[in-house]
Structure 1
Amino acid sequence: MQDRINKITTILDTNKAEAIEVFDLRGRDYFVDYVIIASSLGTRHTEALLDHLKRGLKPEEQFLGTDESGEWIAVDLGDILIHIMTPEYRSRYDLETFLSSLRKNSEEA
């Protein structure tokens, strides 16, 4: 699994994604094991990062679904969920706080 995470983050980093964060949610009450969040430089860059992921990860990874709005793209790999967002969307939706609370709540239980 760690090799898959490393490959995804390397592709994102190599192609100028910023503030890449990995959330390990194994054993938590969430529908995937890992969530990766990265910031793009803008709408066109968001779309370009998705293209880089598709080229770099296929055929090893199966893309179960992608949801694209230009400002925010979500990629479902089954056990890994990737969010690529413009900085404005990332700030507005603040997924990091939500995902961090899942980790914290699970550790307290």
Structure 2
Amino acid sequence: MTPKRTTRSSRAKSPVPSPKRKAPASKPAAPKTKKRADEASQKLLNVVLKSLDGDKAENIVAIDLAGKTPMADFMVVASGRSNRHVTAIAEHLSEELKKHGINGRAEGLPQGDWVLVDAMDIIVHVFRPEVRAFYNLEKMWGDGAAVAAEAV
């Protein structure tokens, strides 16, 4: 036996009004100024680059993504000599970020072929050289301007 279907017009009206969605705020919160966001991202980029350089990461490339994607302001790509070196670079970078109040999440640590560290406005990829050549992220994001490590 199938249950009887009722239509809206045949249902009794409830004395309690149905909850309504809240109207969106009339005025959205003011976004951070572009200059401030750039300064914060630039400082964070300096922290990332110093950490990578201190851990002897190779072929460090910082790509400016501002205006290209909302996911991050910069992407940094670096290489380690071995799985253990890649893992050590990423772990040390996460520790450095914590010292600066940023909880940088790392993905891919157990394997050590490619570790991604999410540092809020900066995404850091640390590869073994063979894996880096295979994925070639620099070419994929080549329309972003490369930032020289010395310029930061």
Runs of 4+ in 1 over 4 A off after TM superposition: none
Deviations 1:21-55 (A, max 9, x none): 00111011352111000000110001100121122
Instruction: Find the counterpart in structure 2 of residue 81 from structure 1.
Output: 123
C-alpha contact 2:107 2:115 (8 A) present in aligned 1? yes
Of residues 135, 139, 148, the one that matches 1:93 is: 135
Instruction: Find the counterpart in structure 2 of residue 62 from structure 1.
Output: 103
Q: Which has the higher helix share?
A: 1
Q: Which runs of 5+ in 2 are unaligned?
A: 1-40, 146-152
- Figure out how many residues of one structure are paired with residues of the other and give that number: 102
Is 1:3–2:43 an aligned residue pair?
yes
Following the alignment from structure 1 to structure 2, what is the Cα–Cα distance between the partners of residues 36 and 54? Answer: 14
Check 1:92–1:8 CA distance in 2 against 1; reply closer, same or farther (3 A cut): same
> What RMSD over aligned residues (CA atoms) do the two structures have, in Å?
1.5
Q: Which has the higher strand share?
A: 1
Q: Who wins on radius of gyration, i.e. which is larger? A: 2
Following the alignment from structure 2 to structure 1, what is the Cα–Cα distance between the partners of residues 96 and 123? Answer: 16
Q: Which runs of 5+ in 1 are unaligned?
A: 105-109
Following the alignment from structure 1 to structure 2, what is the Cα–Cα distance between the partners of residues 86 and 48? Answer: 12
Higher relative contact order (CA 8 A, sep 6+): 1
Report the identity percentage: 33
